[in-house]
Chains A and B, each alone.
Chain A
């Protein structure tokens, strides 16, 4: 069965009309996963559990139950806790960890009928931009053999791009959803910080972690967010802010929408071909009635330095609990990248260095936030590239962590400022996908869908 033409909404309509069953869908997805096992997108495939859930879903459908994701197979990054299903964070430290509870988001998805088909591969502890840091081996791009799919939510992106499921939950601390989305030619949303609950998702850097998802279309992205977003009594950083009616933005055109183009994001270091492609998209938006304005986000150049102080600081604290006492695996089993971040973070928080590093980084973070606050007084959204380069070959940057870190140069700012960002595919360059990033003010996800829709068309 080929369901790649279906969106979630389309599949739901067909399920309701009994054109096919949820069991058919799940089996088709499992077949895809098995067929493309070489991509290494999954750490754990929940075949048995998913088929059982599909049978239940089919019964409910027969009984006339109607839920937005009833019977729809989706995957979740292996840092989401799933009760009774092994959750590793792609690290051997948690190789045999079976959670006693499920993440809030997992529960929310299951409550509306979603079927968790498996736990996707990623960089261990979500540390990385390519997926190569997984203790379970790198995930491969479904586009070109030997290329990285982007990370850290590598398996999630691949699972959606390679039709192994309809949508996938990822996490974005510095670009870990947007970058792989752009490398895999799909839609990747990093919502506003706190819009989606972090409860039950293994923390990377708690003040930066955003919980988002991958889909093939903007409509599906909006649907997924309307399910996952909202206040969670178990996460003190989720505000009371009401969840927008995202669907309503999809009906709007972009006439009069003010789009800012920050010069710092198009300067040296950006692949010229990517630049041209994005500029072409901007022109097309202008034709659709958007007002394009050149703007400046002057503190952008400090973002990576700032991010690589705050993020490892929080990582070093968050990984403290895996001290070898409770999870059975000794500390030396941490991978190279985790060790690197633990050491960096421990260093920048040490007394005598705190003021010079952590405190300073927090001040810069405030400046970056202010940059965006200022800009969003003048424009509705900002458009930038997602990645300065095209996807690279597996192994190409592994020995050079700094150049790997720089691949997040256009994405980390949104995490530092806590604003939402979406990556939408704008075509291929030499068979390799390119994405465009739309950023907006806090809780403006609706606007991002609106502009994203204008780019992708129907």
Chain B
């Protein structure tokens, strides 16, 4: 049996204000119900005014994911009752989202199709407390109305490795665009895999998407609101095992919504028969439809920085570094930018881009606390060591070994730390600055002879 997996990911945007009001969207760790107003509390008479920046960022993300941006789009109301939903409906997008039909190419070479990218608002947060021995539920509306972008894929995954690769890429793109911190621990990214199994009789080696969609299983299990990559991995693995067991017993897994229970290390039923829910979507009358023109879209497109994959390819080519190194250097935009600054500065000091990348990667440089100028200085110093002839060092080493027979004896008797003492001696004797690791290597060679 082959897993069929699709993903819905919610990414919280880091705009200053909320999606439909002027309240601060920076709610994490703030005192409950302090970032609220009539709009995000859903008070009578309050009206939503859409956040232009949030909409542009949603479109920008869609563009970065190679989506089509329809010239006409609108918001819709998704009606349902839940205590954390102040208005009795969530403002979302139904049939005309901002972005349609994109894709992400994975490291494995596989392309994951993105169905849509749309904009919506977050809900309040329920806090279940025990007060005076009584279980009560409190509501914090600080999160209510924080802009959320939902990215939905086609059911194109068949293994967890690809799922994780996709999620990391999505997270990386969101961070490159600087539209979200995409911090899992703070709930900036919430993951909802849907999983089902297809029998082996289907020709799964045929990779054309058309054929896959034609033979989708007739049920789907959704696991809601997972806030960690690790849990997604575990939840998918658990579901595959659970569903396999059911199917092997000639059963069909129930179409349902489940949740991941980290304590029990399993998924648990939340809601059965998802198809029965009816959100009674209709166009949001309080917000006029959004009409784009080529000029406006071009302006958004211009704000998109070079994206990780492109940057990686360029680094490899332009700086003549390995794919592995390029991958590490482009993982975060700040590191990539830092690297390029160093390369630039290094050029003036006759350093190659490769020397710079080697140094940054091997020394695991903390770019927060290091200036590019320091990097160049350090590499420069290193290259001076390199110019000292190996035979020159060997001469000094031999001299030191002869003058410190006791230490040599200690080392050979198993007191490995004696080498440190010898290194110190070599450095003292030498007139030039020597690189410790190089001295150590030569010393050890001699000692182990």
Contact = CB atoms under 8 A, between A and B. Distances in A.
Interface of B: 38, 42-50, 77, 79, 81, 83, 86-89, 278, 280-282, 285-288
Interface string A425-455: 0000000000000000000000000000000
Given A99-B44, A101-B43, A317-B79, A233 B282 contact: no
B87 A321 contact: yes
B42 A321 contact: yes
Nearest to A201: B45
Interface in A342-357: 346, 349-351, 354
Interface stretch (A141-149, A183-191, A202-210, A284-292): A202-210
Given A321-B87, A349-B282, A236 B47 contact: yes
A314 interface: yes
A354 B287 CA distance: 20
A236 B49 contact: yes
A239 B287 CA distance: 12
A321 B38 contact: no
B286 A317 contact: no
A233 B38 contact: no
Contact of B88 (A201, A321, A350): A321
Nearest to A97: B44
19 contacts: A101-B38, A198-B47, A199-B47, A200-B46, A202-B44, A203-B44, A233-B49, A236-B287, A237-B287, A314-B282, A314-B285, A316-B79, A317-B88, A317-B89, A317-B282, A321-B87, A349-B79, A349-B282, A354-B280
Contact of A234 (B47, B50, B83, B86): B47
Interface residues on A, range: 35 or more
Contacts of B86: 321, 326
A294 interface: no
Given A199-B46, A202-B44, A237 B89 contact: no
A207 B47 CA distance: 12
Interface of A: 79-81, 87, 89, 94, 97, 99-101, 103, 198-203, 205-207, 233-237, 313-314, 316-317, 319-323, 325-326, 346, 349-351, 354, 358
Contacts of A319: 88
A320 B44 contact: no
Q: Which of B42, B83, B281, B282 has the most CB of A within 10 A?
A: B282
A271 to B, nearest CB: 34
A386 B288 CA distance: 29
Contacts of A97: 44
A203 B45 contact: yes
B285 A81 contact: no
A31 to B, nearest CB: 31
Contact of B48 (A89, A101, A236, A325): A236
Contacts of A320: 79, 81, 87-89
A297 to B, nearest CB: 23
Contacts of A79: 45
A198 B281 CA distance: 22
Given A206-B286, A207-B285, A317-B89, A99 B50 contact: no
B44 A349 contact: no
A13 B273 CA distance: 70
A374 B101 CA distance: 39
A237 B88 CA distance: 21
Contacts of B42: 321, 326
